[in-house]
Amino acid sequence: MRLIRTLVPSSEVSAVRSVLDEHDIDYVIFEEDSEGSEAMVVEFPLPAQGVETVLDDLRETTSVEDTYTVVASVESVFSEHDDELEERFITGSEEDDSIATEEIRATALDLTPSPVTYYAMTLLSVLVATAGLLLDSPAIVVGSMVIAPLVGSSLTASVGTVLLDREMMVEGFRTQLFGLLLAVAGATVFSLGLKSAAFLPPALDVTTTQQISQRISPGLLSVTVGLCAGAAGAFGLATGVSVTLVGVMVAAALIPAAAAVGVGIAWGVPAVALGAFVLLVLNVVSIHVSGVTVLWYLGYRPAGWPGDGRSASDETGTRELLADGAPSMSRERLLPVAVVAVVLIAVVALCGAVVAAHVGFEQSVNQAVGETLEEPGYEELELVVVRSQFDGQPLVSVVDEQQVTVVVTREADQRYPDLHSRLEARIEAQTGRDVRVVVQFVERQTTDQRGVTYPNDDKIYGSGPAIAPRAQHVSLHG
């Protein structure tokens, strides 16, 4: 529930009464003379979903828009018509979860803490994420997402774009940009420190770390995380639902990718740095675009938008209408959004071409690997995973040849010395690009129908395939 308190001139009290009586709203009116003017304070409770509707009606008949108005949250309300209002706006014909435009704007701004807190928490979260990536620990990476404060700047930019609030939009993008730059720089310095101090082997191949390899090959599934995070954040913000958990989702799309960029720079692996950077940029764009789309779908519009019924704001905060009563949409208000739209389209086109090329390459590689493993002599092999190195095609190539890693399981007594060369020939023929194939074998043992007891192992394995706990072995060919 919300409690609305607004100051209206005494001459407009009757008009306010008419609007509130029409909606069956219980209210109180008392005199206010702090500035010696003849004004009255009107106070009334409403469900959060009805605030926008009632305020719009008041704006059409009174000067409430230009006066003192406060919307506050309340725990409970006991009045004559509160049940009818709840049934009407919450469960009835006018059911709508969206909160008022003024409230969504204030909530978005409140989500971003003070600059010191914001940047400090961002730096701490990326340091934790970097440690999690290098330790290959999903739990630590998830922990980094919990403390990241990026949801505030993301939603502030989205709300500012929808409402054509230039100051709000610029502040959101600026805070987010500086935060991510700090995250990448922090991850780079931290990784270089770990590497220089020999806390980690200098020859460590970061591309083989699962938590890193998952974030250096941007694809449609990776971008889905950003799209869903932005949409969920917008829904949570617009409906008054807590966005704390959504903040974890936004951080999941941004913080690990920023940390991976820093790791790639520190280890001097351009494929890692570029792949993670493309993923980071795409997720930033995805979060913003999906957030703006959801807010627009829920009916939020800038003041003065055609059909909105309200006028546009000038620099003094007053409202003005054109001579024919149509709202004014100044070029100064539309220009920032147009610039943002052009930049986003350019980024999507640029990064989209890179991702499309890589996705096409991955599909061809997967098809070539599948066809090779179906050939006679390889029936006993079981495919575990195929990893394709990201190289930035078609815009820039950072490696002379791409590396493809194929992980398969095999029986302990079987050898396949020519598999890597067969895979390399088929992949190159399928993709038309030079590749270097690395095959990793994980040995397995299979029991018969009666069950077998392994030596020095008290556990009895029944029928079916099983990975022997003491018989795992990895062989590399390439």
pLDDT at 128: 95
Every domain of the chain and the residues it spans = 2-96, 107-310, 357-477
Q: Is 283 a residue whose pLDDT tops 60?
A: yes
Please tell me the distance from the alpha carbon of residue 284 to that of residue 249, in angstroms, as a whole number.
Answer: 12
User: How does pLDDT run across 94-138, given as a tens digit for each residue?
Assistant: 545 566 777 788 888 888 888 999 999 999 999 999 999 998 888
What is the model's pLDDT at position 181?
A: 95
Max Cα distance, the chain (Å)? 97
State how beta strands 435-447 and 474-477 pair: antiparallel
- Check whether 184 has a pLDDT greater than 90: yes
Give the residue, 249 or 1, on which the prediction is more confident. 249
Query: Is residue 290 a contact partner of residue 228, using CB atoms and an 8 Å limit?
Result: yes
Q: What is the pTM of this model?
A: 0.66
Q: What is the pLDDT of residues 42-88, one digit of tens each?
A: 888 877 767 777 777 777 777 666 667 788 777 777 766 666 666 66
Which residues, at least 6 apart from 369, have a Cβ–Cβ distance to it below 8 Å?
383, 386, 406, 423, 426, 427
Percent of the chain with pLDDT over 70: 75
Distances (CA, A) of 86 to 79, 104, 178, 369: 12, 20, 43, 60
Q: Shortest CA distance to 184 belongs to which of 275, 299, 266, 306?
A: 266
pLDDT of 312 reads 39
Per-residue pLDDT averaged across 202-230, rounded? 79
pLDDT bin (cut points 50, 70, 90) of residue 315 is very low
Q: Percent of the chain having pLDDT more than 90?
A: 11
pLDDT reading at 325 higher than 60: no
Same topology between domain 2-96 and domain 357-477: yes
- Classify domain 107-310 by CATH architecture: Up-down Bundle (1.20)
* Alpha carbon distance, N-terminus to C-terminus of the chain: 66
Single-letter amino acid, residue 423:
L
Enclosing H/E stretch for 406: strand 402-411
CA distance 284 to 180: 10
Decide yes or no: CATH 3.60.20.30 for domain 2-96.
no
Q: What is the pLDDT of residue 349?
A: 73
Class level of CATH domain 357-477: alpha beta
The pLDDT, as a whole number, for residue 26 is: 78
